[in-house]
Chain A
Amino acid sequence: MRELSLHLLDIAENSIAAGAKNITITIREDTTADRLYLSVQDDGKGMDEEMVRKVTDPFVTTRTTRKVGLGIPLLKAAAEACNGWLKIHSKVGEGTLVEVEFQRSHIDRMPLGDVAGTFLTLLVGNPQIHWVFRYSVDDEIFELDDQQIKQELQEIPLSDPLVLSYLREILESSIRSLQTTQVY
């Protein structure tokens, strides 16, 4: 995967598979400290210590269709190659927090890519989950909590054409305006 936003999508899919009801995705760019922080927090079934240790190993996966899981190990390797790290905090029955940090300006640092596309895909494809998306660049913050939207819409699905154009518009325009304020 060539974009960090695809990795976020991948990790969030793990959260969904773990039965999470609430998932929060955070992206934090700090241009002064030159760090890029990403996290996915869920209240899924969690993992024990043994599993957490194993999950960064490419030869561990819970899936039954194919035996090798590569999402997390590859992201960890990518972070470590950019003066960064990846940590997993998890507790059985409580949930999991996956955090990863990069040196923002590192030449090998993957681009964030299509963040709006990742958020839209998760939101519309998994309406049963309560999503919170937080993206900040220094002091500029974009936050989307889908609860208000869902309350307002009631029985109208997120895949309704009008709703889709609304969601796409707020995601794309907010993220674009965040990213154009960046100082290089």
Chain B
Amino acid sequence: MPTIKSLDDLKKIREEALEKRKVKTASGQVQVIVGMGTCGIAAGARDAMKAILETIQTENLEGVVVTQTGCIGLCEKEPIVQVVVGDQPKVTYGKVSPDVARQIMKEHVKNGNVVKDFVIQI
């Protein structure tokens, strides 16, 4: 892959991204929320976040919105990642290591199958 460096390259990226969007508008949006409170950060939320972003790149996942939230009161289960696919109910995952994060992205976000082993009840 060529290395992208300058701001001018963003124009190209934008055009390319727009082009791809035209093809894939019906797929619906996926929201991925990472807990970034002090507890989450201390437990490794940044690494989970990085793994999520990496998987978006490697699997070329379009229409994924990645956001953050603070502490939700389950510090012992951090890092916590929540996934909302379209209008389906929110699924909450606990103890999300980078490996688990990659698994969630591939199986749940990409293929629509909840990764049951890491779901926690809130």
A interface, CB within 8 angstroms of B: 1, 6, 9-10, 13, 16-17, 63, 65-66, 69-71, 114, 117-118, 120-121, 124-126, 148-149, 152-154, 156-157, 159-166, 168-170, 173
- Give complex CA distance A15, B29 in Å: 28
List, in ascending order, chain A residues with CB within 8 A of B67's CB.
125-126
Segment of B56-64, B86-94, B110-118 in the binding face: B56-64
- From B11, which residue of chain A is reached at the shortest CB distance? A152
Given contacts A6-B41, A164-B56, A169-B3, contact A63 B62 (CB under 8 A): no
Q: Decide: A125 and B49 in contact? CB cutoff 8 A.
A: yes
Can you sample 19 A-B contacts with CB below 8 Å? Answer: A10-B41, A13-B68, A65-B73, A120-B53, A121-B36, A121-B68, A124-B53, A125-B66, A148-B7, A152-B14, A153-B13, A156-B13, A161-B57, A165-B4, A166-B9, A166-B13, A169-B3, A169-B5, A173-B5
Which residues of chain B come closer than 8 Å to A163, judged between CB atoms?
10, 13, 17
CB distance from B105 to the nearest CB of A (A): 12
Seed contacts A117-B49, A164-B57; 11 additional CB < 8 Å A-B pairs:
A117-B47, A118-B46, A121-B50, A125-B36, A152-B10, A153-B13, A161-B62, A163-B13, A164-B53, A166-B9, A168-B53
Contact assessment for B72 and A125 in the assembled complex, using a CB-CB cutoff below 8 Å: no
Provided the pairs A1-B41, A149-B10, A159-B56 are in contact, do residues A65 and B4 lie with their beta carbons within 8 angstroms?
no
Q: In the complex, how many angstroms separate the beta carbon of B31 from the nearest chain A beta carbon? A: 10
Check if B23 is an interface residue, CB within 8 A of chain A.
Answer: no
Distance, CA A146 to CA B33, complexed state (A): 21
Q: Residues of A contacting B16 with CB < 8 Å?
A: 162
CA A117 – CA B53 in complex, angstroms?
10
CA distance A54 to B49 in the complex (A): 31
Secondary structure class of chain A's binding surface, majority of residues: helix
CA distance A2 to B27 in the complex (A): 40
Q: Is B71 an interface residue when CB atoms closer than 8 A count as contact?
A: yes
CA distance A148 to B10 in the complex (A): 10
* Shortest Cβ-Cβ A-B pairs, 6 listed: A65-B73, A125-B68, A152-B10, A71-B38, A156-B17, A162-B13
Which residues on B are within 8 Å of A, measured CB to CB?
Answer: 1, 3-5, 7, 9-11, 13-14, 16-18, 34, 36-39, 41-42, 46-47, 49-50, 53, 56-57, 60-62, 64-68, 70-73, 75
In the complex, which of the residues A9, A70, A162 has the most CB atoms of chain B within 10 Å of its own CB atom? A162
Q: Which residue of A lies closest to B61 (CB)?
A: A161
Contact in complex: A9, B73 (CB < 8 Å): no
Enumerate chain B residues within 8 angstroms of A156, measured Cβ to Cβ: 13-14, 17-18
Give B81 Cβ to nearest chain A Cβ, in Å.
12
Task: Kindly provide the distance from the CB of B23 to the nearest chain A CB, expressed in whole angstroms.
Answer: 14
Query: Which of A125, A164, A173 is within 8 Å of B34, CB to CB?
Result: A125
